[in-house]
Amino acid sequence: MAAPQALQLSSLDNVVIDNEENQIHEPAVDEFDYSKRGQWLRAAVLGANDGLVSVASLMMGVGSVKEDVKAMIIAGFAGLVAGACSMAIGEFVSVCTQRDVEIAQMKREKRKGSLESGKDEKLPNPVQAALASALAFTVGAVLPLLAAAFIRQHKVRIAVVVAVASVALVVFGVVGALLGGTPVGKSSARVVVGGWMAMGTTYGLTKLIASGHEMQI
């Protein structure tokens, strides 16, 4: 009687061990390396957010001392062009520097004979990065321009620019959170509050400086 019981216990132990091994080695369903999206996601979200906040804040600053819609649109358009060029040049220089560093590292590995095949195909493209950054900035900057272009009443125009910018910031925050696998509420709140602070500070300081020096604009 003892032998069969021992065999049964041994069999049960083997089943338990097998089940534990299966559970340990069972692949997770939702395992995705979101860090792979980091570079292009950072550039896209940063560019669009920067374009939106920069141009909206610039228009708010001009709108605080000038009621003419033409002045706001011209200032916003100038900010769009200048910002897109700045983002493109900055991204181009940054990626070129990164590319030079990686090429230098590849040369060192080649001399040592440890260079991996196909590694040169993974080098970043500075022109592509510059164009993507400029495009993202432009997409964000166009929104407040379109919002203010067809509104003649000054106060309504200011309110519409703030409302459109706020909605767009929420969208950017949600999209960035979903693509990056981060909490949606925290990401959206951070983006929106930051945009409000930029627009409010620009509006208030511009109005304060203009009224303090009695500027004729």
Q: Which amino acid is at 49?
A: N
Could you tell me what percent of the chain has a pLDDT over 70?
74
Q: What Cα–Cα distance (Å) separates residue 111 from each residue in 104, 105, 116, 118, 121?
A: 11, 10, 12, 16, 19
Q: What is the pTM of this model?
A: 0.73
Nearest-10 crossing angle of helices 38-63, 184-212: 30
* Position 23 pLDDT exceeds 60: no
pLDDT tier for residue 40 given thresholds of 50, 70 and 90: low
Taking the mean position of all CA atoms in its chain, how far away is CA 10? 57
Region 19-47: mean pLDDT is 55
Question: How far are the Cα atoms of 3, 66, 111, 114 from residue 117, in angstroms, in the given order?
Answer: 60, 61, 14, 9
pLDDT, average across residues 185-198:
91
* Residue 74: CA count within 13 A, CB half-sphere: 7
